Amino acid sequence: MVPIIELLAKILILLVYSNLMEYAIHRWVLHGWLWRQHAPHHNDTEHTVFFVNSLRGVIRATLLISVSSLFWGLLFGWLPLIVFLIYYFVLLEGAHYLIHQFHLKGHHMTHHADLKEGNWNVWIPLSDILFRTRI
φ, ψ of residue 24 in degrees (nearest 5): -60, -45
C-alpha 58/C-alpha 45 separation (Å) is 21
Give the pLDDT score at 53: 62
Give the pLDDT score at 102: 67
C-alpha 44/C-alpha 47 separation (Å) is 6
pLDDT tens, the chain, 135 aa long? 568 999 999 999 989 998 988 898 888 888 888 778 777 777 766 665 556 666 777 777 788 888 888 888 888 888 888 888 888 777 777 777 777 666 665 666 667 666 657 888 887 889 999 999 988
pTM for the predicted model, two decimal places: 0.78
